[in-house]
């Protein structure tokens, strides 16, 4: 193993890779047994690992410094080349899928892998490669547009991430001015945001029609690798959230208003936990990392080994810099069996959220490296987010390392409260995207009207108080999952509800909950999502009545009738700060 900075980068020659893949397909067809075909498949693993490692190295280094011209050119190259490569991989998988030795292969790599191959075959084709290339370029343009923010703040130039502490200031006037600056930036790029999203919707719809779908939504479900549930289950979950969770969240917003001593709460207030502001971690970014190392050393032998590995090999880039991309993510470098965490520390509680949330992803990735079957690491996002959100709760006994004795209770409270109030927002983002892709003919203005309508249903208290960009129904345009990762966002909701179950379980039996969590991480994608929940002892959020049951159990587990005493800041944790940008 080596430090991240020393990992050599070499542009992938896709002409050469294409020839290698064709040779592997030929060998696969000529193999005389399942064992011979599996030996060929292991050669495919090696080739694909090399490609994914170099593509991911480029992506990481491009987001670390969006002004680096070399990696910008390399990223543009991959935006163009990777769709064709992905399509060729599907051609390889078609041969594996149709193998006369399917029973032998399925025994080795599992039925889930073959179901995912079937999904992949339906979701790409040579005909849509130019459209996928265009889609990649549009997404990159959007992300660069957000990264280009240069916000003047008292003589200093800030990007969107570095503005965040002022948006959450305990001083109402400071956060109001910060919100106005944020509003002004988005307003300055409003036309471009409309243009980019309109192109993305039309592009994705055209891809869907080319592949034989009526709209993008069913194609989006396939590309999100939803292999054991569908739209019916998600719509039922959203229905339950509207009935049970929206009133629950609105009660918490009302308690927050009372705690802040406000007659009326507006958008600029709702991200603030109490009159003293949000609890902020103590110490420098380096000291936060050191506290994280102590936390994971004490949590378990497995987490100690994992975090030592991350620190020794400098696999965390978390320091805020003006030329970094916004947000955060965990990704994976297969050749080094190494997770990588990207974030933007900015002195808020979001820095600690990174230590718990993104490390949950990275810890699972580290454990998954023990399994030689690559398909088992190909987890769906609804499963991946359980790893991260549950880790936030498992690390609760160590919050004092970051916040000290006085502020730990506030952070613990804020952490839980915002986890609860996130759920309606997550469903709103999902329903918005369904409406958009069901009606791709909508104009930009009509999409904004849809968002305003959904805000009244999911966040009826919302008042932007004169922030005109947001008042026009544009808040969703800063939620970059909507542009970059279509139909992703409901996965956070599914996982958050499962994480609440782990919270309830660990309060009663911490050892049992941790053993279940380790099992969940190690199962990875060797089982379907619904089956791995069952094997781990977790109830499915899709089941009728479970939202109400989760709410009742939350209240029991937290040992109080008034949940407003506990809380959490989701906007720093779940919005752009924790994008999973896996290859």
Q: Which of 200-204, 323-327, 402-406, 468-472 has the lowest mean pLDDT?
A: 323-327
What average pLDDT does the segment 58-73 reach?
A: 95
What average pLDDT does the segment 67-92 reach?
A: 94
Q: How far apart are CA 52 and CA 54, in angstroms?
A: 6
pLDDT in tens, 335-374: 999 999 999 888 888 899 888 999 999 999 999 998 999 9
> How high does pLDDT run on average in the chain?
91
pLDDT band at 551 (very low <50, low <70, confident <90, very high): low
pLDDT in tens, 115-127: 999 999 999 889 9
pLDDT in tens, 282-338: 989 999 999 999 999 999 999 999 999 999 999 999 988 888 887 789 999 999 999
Q: Are 362 and 341 in contact (CB under 8 A)?
A: yes
Q: How far apart are CA 421 and CA 249, in angstroms?
A: 5
pLDDT in tens, 130-175: 999 999 999 999 999 998 899 999 999 998 988 988 999 999 999 9
Statement: residue 563 has pLDDT above 70 = no
Handedness of CA 233, 235, 236, 238 (dihedral sign): positive
Sort strands 156-158 and 151-153 into parallel, antiparallel or unpaired: antiparallel
Statement: residue 382 has pLDDT above 80 = yes
Enter the DSSP assignment of 583: -
pTM of the model: 0.88
Tell which residue, 177, 172, 573, has the closest CA to residue 388: 573
Span between the terminal Cα atoms of the chain, in Å: 21
pLDDT band at 553 (very low <50, low <70, confident <90, very high): low
Looking at the chain, the whole-number percentage of residues with pLDDT higher than 90 is: 80
Q: How far apart are CA 153 and CA 158, in angstroms?
A: 7
Name the CA dihedral angle for 371, 393, 221, 46, rounded to a multiple of 10 degrees: -20
Predicted pLDDT at 322: 81
Tell which residue, 294, 291, 293, 352, has the closest CA to residue 318: 352
Q: Which of 43-52, 101-110, 467-476, 524-533 has the lowest mean pLDDT?
A: 524-533
Predicted pLDDT at 570: 29
pLDDT in tens, 190-222: 999 999 999 999 999 999 999 999 999 999 999
Question: For the range 308-315, what are the long-range contacts, defined as Cβ-Cβ under 8 Å and sequence gap of 24 or more?
Answer: 309/1, 309/338, 309/366, 310/339, 310/341, 310/359, 310/362, 312/3, 313/1, 313/2, 313/3, 313/4, 313/338, 314/3, 314/4, 314/5, 315/4, 315/339, 315/340, 315/341, 315/362
pLDDT band at 561 (very low <50, low <70, confident <90, very high): very low
Handedness of CA 463, 469, 474, 478 (dihedral sign): negative
């Amino acid at each position: 193993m080596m430090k991240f900075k020393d990992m050599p980068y070499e542009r992938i020659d896709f002409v050469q890779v294409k020839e290698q893949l064709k040779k592997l397909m030929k060998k696969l067809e000529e193999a005389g047994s399942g064992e011979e075909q599996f030996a060929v498949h292991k050669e495919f693993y090696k080739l694909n690992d090399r490609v994914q490692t170099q593509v991911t190295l480029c992506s990481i280094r491009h987001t670390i410094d969006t002004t680096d011209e070399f990696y910008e050119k390399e990223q543009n190259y991959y935006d163009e080349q990777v769709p064709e490569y992905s399509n060729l991989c599907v051609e390889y998988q078609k041969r594996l899928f149709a193998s006369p030795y399917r029973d032998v292969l399925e025994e080795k790599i599992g039925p889930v892998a073959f179901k995912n191959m079937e999904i992949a075959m339906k979701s790409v084709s040579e005909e849509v490669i130019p459209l996928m290339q265009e889609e990649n370029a549009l997404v990159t343009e959007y992300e660069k547009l957000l990264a280009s923010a240069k916000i003047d703040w008292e003589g200093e130039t800030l990007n969107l991430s570095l503005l965040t502490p002022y948006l959450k200031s305990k001083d109402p006037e400071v956060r109001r001015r910060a919100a106005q600056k944020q509003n002004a930036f988005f307003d300055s790029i409003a036309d471009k945001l409309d243009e980019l999203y309109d192109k993305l919707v039309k592009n994705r719809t055209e891809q869907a029609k080319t592949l034989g779908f009526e709209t993008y939504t069913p194609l989006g479900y396939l590309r999100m690798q939803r292999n054991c549930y569908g739209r019916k289950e998600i719509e039922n979950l959203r229905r339950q959230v509207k009935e049970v969770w929206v009133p629950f969240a609105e009660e918490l917003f009302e308690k927050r208003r009372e705690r802040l001593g406000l007659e009326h709460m507006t958008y600029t207030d709702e991200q603030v936990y109490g009159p003293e502001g949000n609890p902020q971690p103590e110490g420098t970014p380096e000291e936060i990392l050191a506290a994280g190392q102590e936390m994971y050393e004490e949590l378990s032998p497995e987490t100690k080994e994992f975090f030592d590995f991350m620190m020794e090999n400098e696999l965390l880039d978390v320091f805020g810099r003006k030329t970094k991309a916004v947000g955060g993510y965990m990704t994976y470098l297969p050749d080094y069996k190494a997770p990588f965490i990207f974030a933007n520390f900015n002195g808020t509680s979001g820095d600690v959220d990174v230590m718990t949330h993104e490390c949950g992803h990275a810890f699972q990735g580290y454990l998954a490296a023990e399994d030689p079957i690559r398909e088992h690491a190909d987890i769906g996002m609804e499963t991946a987010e359980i790893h991260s959100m549950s880790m936030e709760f498992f690390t609760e006994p160590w919050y004092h390392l970051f916040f000290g004795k006085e502020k730990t209770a506030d952070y613990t409270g804020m952490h839980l409260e915002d986890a609860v109030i996130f759920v309606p927002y997550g469903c709103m983002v999902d329903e918005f995207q369904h409406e958009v892709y069901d009606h791709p003919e909508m104009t930009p203005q009509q999409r904004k009207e849809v968002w305003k309508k959904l805000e009244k249903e999911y966040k009826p208290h919302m008042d932007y108080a004169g922030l005109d960009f947001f008042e026009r129904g544009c808040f969703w345009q800063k939620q970059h999952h909507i542009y970059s990762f279509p139909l992703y966002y409901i996965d956070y909701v599914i996982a958050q509800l499962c994480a609440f179950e782990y919270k309830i379980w660990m309060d009663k039996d911490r050892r049992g909950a941790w053993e279940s969590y380790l099992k969940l991480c190690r199962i990875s994608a060797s089982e379907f999502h619904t089956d791995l929940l069952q094997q781990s002892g977790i109830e499915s959020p899709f089941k009728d009545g479970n939202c109400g049951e989760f709410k009742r159990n939350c209240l029991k587990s937290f040992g109080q009738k008034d949940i407003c005493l506990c809380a959490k800041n989701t906007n720093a944790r779940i919005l752009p700060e924790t994008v999973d940008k896996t290859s």
